[in-house]
Amino acid sequence: MKNKLIHALAATAVAATMLSAPTIGAAADTANAKVIAQGKKIAFSRSKGNCLACHMIKGGSLPGNIGPALIAMKLRYPDKQKLYNKIWGKPELEVKYSMMPPFGRHVILTDDQIKKVVEFIYTL
């Protein structure tokens, strides 16, 4: 009798865990979608990121062509931190004569804003 009770409780615990896991994952997906949307807003904003001034970005209007098109970003930057460092403006990652400002180093965007832009760009 005691073993049956233990097995029943264990089965109930496993079932409860399995049922709650998608809810946790869905909440994380919703939070990430919010961050991505905020990153897109910053990237497309003419007064903040202004990425469209130089880059073609899917969904953007009046893109520039000074910088490369922002496509296949996960392939181009498999390490998300390197993309962050590039946008932030780490001196060792600067391209000579590039028009891209060092957004973090020159305090054009905050670290939090840059992280959101990176999350958005990583979806491209």
14-38 per-position pLDDT tens digit: 444 444 455 556 666 787 999 999 9
Comparing 3 with 67, which gets the higher pLDDT?
Answer: 67
CB of 66 closer than 8 Å to CB of 54: yes
Structure tokens at 108: 């054009």
* Res. 84: pLDDT tops 60: yes
Number of structural domains found in the chain: 1
Provide the CATH number for the domain around residue 68.
Answer: 1.10.760.10
Mean pLDDT on 44-63: 92
- Does this model's pTM top 0.85? My answer is no
> Is the CB of residue 104 less than 8 Å from the CB of residue 114?
yes
Q: Residue 27's pLDDT is what? A: 64
Average pLDDT over residues 119-123: 95
Q: What is the mean pLDDT of residues 111-118?
A: 97
Q: State mean pLDDT over 77-89.
A: 95
pLDDT for residue 52 is more than 70: yes
Q: Which residues contact 6 (CB under 8 A, 6 or more apart)?
A: none
Q: Is the CB of residue 87 less than 8 Å from the CB of residue 103?
A: yes
The per-residue pLDDT for 124 is 93
Is 103 a residue whose pLDDT tops 90?
yes
Q: Are the CB atoms for 76 and 84 separated by under 8 Å? A: no
Which range of residues forms the domain containing residue 93? 2-121
Greatest C-alpha distance within the chain: 78
